[in-house]
Amino acid sequence: MNSKTEVSEKILSHFFNGKSIGKSLKEMSVDLVKTETEDVVSRWYHAPSTDLFTWTDRGHHIIKQQLHFNGQVVEWNCLEGIRTGLIIEADLGLKPTYNAEGKMEKDRVSQSIKFDALPMNNCVELALEILENVDFEKPIRLQLVDNFRNPQNLTNMDPQLFLDRFGMALAGARRPGETVLSRFKKLLK
């Protein structure tokens, strides 16, 4: 076997190896997202060709998590449960721009997610393998894994359990005419 083939096989084995991807995820940033009624902590973790985003409420419950790997997306949120999809990139067709040093800026690309009609099991399985191997604190890792393995949401969770788990996001004043559902949808955008 030549060295070029060995390098290609090594790259491919990492590309689809949940264990090595999970072990290489590192926290890149933590942000506090303030809304009128809720403070949400957003975290971004990164590894080659992989990004994990989490959003937690004041009670430290994950209300949304999204894992991007190899162009695929697996998302869980407390309203809709689990979804899978594909990252779609579109060239915005803008003229190149130059920074202060006269270097051309990167191409301007818009990303969106096209979600599947039904979750793709093979994507969820690889996402689980990645999350089972992250070097996070055990309670956080278990919560991330459980959200993908046993995806509970507003439609299949006991109402009292939903309020107990995610009620912190509902604390505070609501605007007139605002429903719990509309408030959560706004929070998870």
pLDDT in tens, 116-161: 999 999 999 999 999 999 999 898 999 999 999 988 777 777 777 7
Q: Strand, helix or coil at 78?
A: coil
Question: Does the pLDDT value for residue 10 go beyond 60?
Answer: no
Which of the residue ranges 28-32, 101-105, 182-186 has the most confident prediction, judged by mean pLDDT? 28-32
User: What is the rounded average pLDDT of the residues 16-43?
Assistant: 87
| Structure-token pair, residue 36 | 């009128």
DSSP string, 9-64: HHHHHHHT-HHHHHHH-EEEEEEEEE-SS-EEEEEEEEETTEEEEEEE-TTS-EEE
Helix 138-149 and helix 121-132, axial crossing angle in degrees, nearest 10: 170
User: Contact at 8 Å (CB) between 166 and 154?
Assistant: no
The band of 173, judged by pLDDT with boundaries at 50, 70 and 90, is very low
pLDDT at 182: 65
Please state, for a pLDDT cut of 90, what percent of the chain lies above it.
Answer: 39
